[in-house]
Amino acid sequence: MNNTEIAQKLVELLDLRYEPVAVKIIKKGETIPDGFQVPEANIRHCQSIMMARKGESVFIPAEKHACVVGASSLGLIPTPPKVKEGEFHANIGMFDCADAASNMISQRSALEEGSTIATVVCPLKDSELKPDVVVLVDVPETLYWLVPAATFFEGGRQAFSTAAFQATCVDSTIIPLLTGKMNMSLGCFGCRRATDIKNDEMIAGIPYDNLGKMLDALEKIHGGPMQKARKQ
């Protein structure tokens, strides 16, 4: 299937509110793709994802990333000292002290500093590129069905990594990219403050290479267990 067909299947099988979002990290030395608009104003990674779920496509070079926390985790810029040392997040009031905030930053997954130059974020249905990760934003009941899809063939349990910050950049983009496994997030302070994500919505990031197998599982689950459990 091409990306348009994959996106259509995801929307139909999960009854998604929004379009699946394709995220491509452009590494240093890679060709910059044509046909994508650079936003006039600087934007955050989380904002680009929320825009793309509603149909927009953007190419965001490093200098257009508005959030230094997200941009540094994506390998686009060095981590600012105030972020690394915890002062930035401690000043928001989400941690008891700078050391606690610094501990969060030290444990986050991140791409190597200077290894990337831009991000491409667009609806999966419109992407001719092979994305690194596909991000879904929806209510917990909808995203729950990704768990049985992920465990349908081999079984086991799912473990998700999240924090008070960086729900879209770390939790939903970098962790799936680096681990090759789906990850979920309840959202974070930044994306809930800076985007139109609703109070009842959360986020999932799926490695693109895993989508085919997950769709196979969702098709098997859709007609039976999913319909029996859903209260519509």
Q: What is the 3-state secondary structure (H, E, C) of 163-204?
A: CCCCHHHHHHHHHHHHHCCCEEECCCHHHHHHCCCCCCCEEE
Tell me the DSSP string of the chain: --HHHHHHHHHHHHT-SS--EEEEEEETTSPPPSS-BPPSS-B-HHHHHHHHTTT--EEEEGGGB--HHHHHHTTSSPPPHHHHTTHHHHTTTSSSSHHHHHHHHHHS--PPTTSEEEEEEEEGGG--S--SEEEEEE-HHHHHTHHHHHHTTT---------SS-IIIIIIIIHHHHHSS-EEE---HHHHHHS---TT-EEEEEEGGGHHHHHHHHHHHIIIIIHHH---
Average the pLDDT over 37-66 and give the result: 96
State yes or no: pLDDT of 58 exceeds 80. Answer: yes
Q: What's the average model confidence in pLDDT over 137-141?
A: 97
- pLDDT for 134 equals 98
- Identity (one letter) of the amino acid at 8? Q
Residue 231 is predicted with a pLDDT of: 75
User: Given this model, what pLDDT does residue 133 score?
Assistant: 98
Choose the weakest-confidence range: 25-34, 116-125, 160-169, 200-209: 25-34
pLDDT of residue 34: 86
Biggest alpha carbon–alpha carbon distance for the chain: 53
- Supply the pLDDT for residue 158: 96
pTM of the model: 0.96
* pLDDT at residue 120 greater than cutoff 90: yes
| Model confidence pLDDT, tens digit, residues 9-35 | 999 999 999 999 999 999 999 988 888
- Where does the pLDDT of residue 180 fall: very low under 50, low under 70, confident under 90, or very high at 90 and above? very high
Q: What is the mean pLDDT of residues 113-136?
A: 96
pLDDT at position 16 is 98
pLDDT classification of 232: cutoffs 50, 70, 90: low
Confirm if 7 and 125 have CB atoms less than 8 A apart. yes
Domain boundaries defined on the chain = 3-229
Dihedral angle over CA of 107, 109, 112, 114, nearest 10? -100
Q: Determine what percent of the chain is predicted with pLDDT higher than 90.
A: 95
pLDDT of amino acid 110? 97
Q: What percentage of the chain has pLDDT greater than the value 70?
A: 100
Supply the pLDDT for residue 196.
97
Looking at residue 134, its amino acid is V
pLDDT digits (tens, 9 = 90+) for 192-204: 999 999 999 999 9
Three-point CA angle 205, 189, 170, nearest 5°: 30
pLDDT of amino acid 116: 98
